Structure 1
Amino acid sequence: MIKSTQYFWRDDALPFVELRRVVDGRAVCSERHSHDTFSIGTVNGGYSTYWNRGRTHETQAGAVVILNPEDVHGCNPVKGADWRYDMLFVDPEWILDLQIEIDADAAGKFAGFSDTLSHNPRLYDGLSDLADILINQDIDVLGKETAMVSFFGDLHVQLDRRGVLDGGIGSVNDRKMIRVGEYIRAHFDETISLDELARQAGYSRSYLVRAFKKAHGMTPYAYLINCRVQKARHALKRGERIVDVALDCGFADQAHFQRVFKRLMATTPRHYAMAHVA
């Protein structure tokens, strides 16, 4: 286990889940970003600000933060406050399989959750227990996977689901911005021009930038950079060299990659790669 203000836990036998534990988050700050995983975490101490889906919340100990895949968000400590938290990142395909097991009528696409923040003590205690089980070296893979299935099975019935991730989007403008986001995610490792994105939506460049930022909470360029960082995150987990990851993910050099990764992930590529593995 890395002796630090934060560390990451992973296990090759459970490739669908990752845990980030922050024991002193006063300096753990990141810009708005998103993950391609379903993310859920507990605030274990102190205070933080949490921005998601256009709203800012203040969280404190006992809160559960909920993030659907690709939810652009920001979560940073309140100045001077001691902030501690656990965050689980779970493959949405793994959760989808569980959703289908529980509900045979479930759609063939991950059903996102309408909640972004919960103060349910049962949910908080269950997630805290799950995090402790995952990092416990005395518990084998069967015990950890059983705990995962138990918790996320309960989650499926405790939280309100909102169907497919764009199910709550109403306006034509919003739907177009979702499609532009999907286009960026599909082509982020290529050279994309603003003219090209504007043509996808049928808007002018200036209107596209404004509409995209309103819908996603960041500009198209920031969204593309976030996609590259998420690709880099997976490559680092596979043990690829940082310099190779930097170039393969479209960054000018290793130094540029390290600066961007730190801004979005609130940790360095090396620290992230050196996760404690069970």
Structure 2
Amino acid sequence: MGNASRFQFIKSQHVPSLTVLHAAMEDFSYDRHAHEEYAFGVTLSGRQDFFSGGQFHKSPPGNVILFNPEEVHDGQPGGEHTLDYLMMYVDPEQVAPLFADALGRDTNAGFRLPGTLIQDSQLRGAILELARLVTANAGSCIDQENALYKVMERTVQLGGAFHSEQSATRPDALMGLAKEYIHAHLDRDISLDEISQAAHLSKYHFLRLFRQHYGITPHQYVINCRINAARTALTKGVSLSEVALRYGFADLSHFNRRFKRIYGMTPHQYQRDISR
């Protein structure tokens, strides 16, 4: 990545787990990855090209981009102009009650966003207003909470809904077992044999099914989960060397390279941004 691409993370001073990314990209592309949060974004200028949900998308200025938790995607500038965009990340547990309230129901089921690319001026305006409050550190706690609720409310109005665990297919359940095993053992060196056994599948059947299901290999998923866990630790102020050692990176250089491919900046730069 050269100097032409710029990334800035801003953590809300009022709403726990809410973080805004403002990125301007000319010469950078993200590796395929997934976040554990919901993501709400707006393409400001240029064109945003990315893979998600088994297909490729092109987002011109004004479009809203939505990612559910653990939805695999990548991203890069499209066309000849600099890509400028905002993306907000928020923990599912933080917003589950807001989604439930907007739907007028009490449920613990997971909420699914209504699509990937949406053209809706009301949702776009709500996202941009919340991003403005966070990046400018403006308004009170209740102002930012109200702005977040407006984003959730409009998302529900556009067709988002809760999904039932009972509707999960057998492959969903088996992949869920594999993911649970990975998350429970991020701090040690785990093998493909161990993960496939946790999913009750042969190694090669598991490999095919996992890639078909998520669009990335189990190895890519493990690295992705370690980077996400590292990001959480960095947010809490844990030192870079301790984070790198805890999550199995050979050294800081290795940690830097992997982190940068998903977040556009080094771990040090990220920790500096969110501590401001």
TM over 0.5: yes
Aligned to 1:62: 62
Aligned to 1:144: 144
CA distance in 2, matches of 1:38, 1:272: 19
Aligned to 1:246: 244
206-215 or 30-39: which moved more? 206-215
Aligned positions of 1:6-17 closer than 5 A: 6-17=7-18
1:274 is paired with a residue whose SS is: helix
Please tell me whether the aligned partners of residues 114 and 158 of structure 2 are also in contact (alpha carbons under 8 angstroms).
Answer: no
Please tell me whether the aligned partners of residues 99 and 106 of structure 1 are also in contact (alpha carbons under 8 angstroms).
Answer: no
CA distance in 2, matches of 1:239, 1:100: 32
CA distance in 2, matches of 1:95, 1:153: 11
Please tell me whether the aligned partners of residues 48 and 76 of structure 2 are also in contact (alpha carbons under 8 angstroms).
Answer: yes
CA distance in 1, matches of 2:40, 2:180: 23
Q: CA RMSD in A?
A: 2.1
Residue identity matched to 2:15: L
Q: 1:138 to 1:93 in 2, by over 3 A?
A: closer
Please tell me whether the aligned partners of residues 26 and 79 of structure 1 are also in contact (alpha carbons under 8 angstroms).
Answer: no
CA deviation vs aligned residue, 1:193-221 (integer Å, no higher than 9, x gap): 21122223333222211211110111111
TM-score normalised to the size of structure 1? 0.89
CA distance in 1, matches of 2:152, 2:98: 8
Q: 1:138 to 1:115 in 2, by over 3 A?
A: closer
1:43 is paired with a residue whose SS is: strand
CA distance in 1, matches of 2:236, 2:184: 21
Q: 1:100 to 1:48 in 2, by over 3 A?
A: closer
Structure 1, unpaired ranges of 5+: none
Q: How many residues align?
A: 272
Please tell me whether the aligned partners of residues 48 and 77 of structure 1 are also in contact (alpha carbons under 8 angstroms).
Answer: yes
1:275 is paired with a residue whose SS is: helix
Same amino acid, percent of matched pairs: 29
Deviation of 1:248 after TM superposition, in Å, equals: 1.4
TM-score normalised to the size of structure 2? 0.90
Please tell me whether the aligned partners of residues 64 and 119 of structure 2 are also in contact (alpha carbons under 8 angstroms).
Answer: yes
Q: 1:162 to 1:138 in 2, by over 3 A?
A: closer
Residue identity matched to 2:6: T
CA distance in 1, matches of 2:188, 2:275: 33
Structure 2, unpaired ranges of 5+: none
Please tell me whether the aligned partners of residues 249 and 255 of structure 2 are also in contact (alpha carbons under 8 angstroms).
Answer: yes
Please tell me whether the aligned partners of residues 10 and 20 of structure 2 are also in contact (alpha carbons under 8 angstroms).
Answer: yes
- Determine if the alignment matches structure 1 residue 260 to structure 2 residue 258: yes
Please tell me whether the aligned partners of residues 162 and 168 of structure 1 are also in contact (alpha carbons under 8 angstroms).
Answer: no
Residue identity matched to 1:78: G
262-271 or 174-183: which moved more? 174-183
Residue identity matched to 2:47: Y
- Determine if the alignment matches structure 1 residue 113 to structure 2 residue 129: no
Deviation of 1:162 after TM superposition, in Å, equals: 4.8
